[in-house]
Amino acid sequence: MNHLFFRFAFVLLFTLPLFQSCTTDENVVLNTFEKTDAGGWQWKQGKKFTFTVEDSTYYYSLICGLRIQTGYSYSNIWMVYKLDGPVSSQKNQFEIVLSDNTGKWLGKGQGNLISYEKPFVSGLKLKPGQYTVELAQNMRDEKLSGVSDVGLKVVKTGKIY
């Protein structure tokens, strides 16, 4: 009996995380990436993402996803976002710090590709409808090399009471 219990516990210990990793987070409205041009990401070539809000009883956060190559030349990147929705729009700039003062990358990854996630708008009250977010680089270089992918994650962050 004891042997059977340990065998069951062993199988459960290793299979339960597999099932948990297969489930999707119900608070994530959108999580997607767009590739940039291999020759460089031009500041005029913003990446557009569209999502639909069905539940206006939550606050929402917008998170920028970024994948850079280790040959990227700077320790940060300035970005501009534009959010257009059914009622209004907003536009602003934000920064993602990519490395520390010693040049060590702060993101996650191995090999040649480093990934980052940076919230750039939090606590948004959104009405039901379709929204578009455009993300563009806002660096001095008109054509920025070393940026592989740009993404957007939209997450419900808390109930509005």
- Is 99 within the bounds of a domain? yes
- Is 89 within the bounds of a domain? yes
User: pLDDT value at position 16?
Assistant: 39
The Cα–Cα gap between 75 and 11 comes to 45
Q: What is the mean pLDDT of residues 121-145?
A: 96
In total, how many domains does the chain have?
1
* CATH assignment at residue 41: 2.60.120
- Is 81 within the bounds of a domain? yes
- Is 75 within the bounds of a domain? yes
What digits encode the pLDDT tens for the residues 73-101? Answer: 999 999 999 999 998 899 999 999 999 99
What digits encode the pLDDT tens for the residues 3-31? Answer: 444 444 433 334 334 434 444 589 999 99
Confidence band for 1, pLDDT divided at 50, 70 and 90: low
User: pLDDT value at position 87?
Assistant: 87
User: pLDDT value at position 110?
Assistant: 80
Domain holding 98, by residue range, is 26-159
Confidence band for 111, pLDDT divided at 50, 70 and 90: confident
Mean pLDDT of the chain: 88
The pLDDT of residue 60 is above 90: yes
- Is 98 within the bounds of a domain? yes
- Is 119 within the bounds of a domain? yes
Q: What is the mean pLDDT of residues 37-51?
A: 95
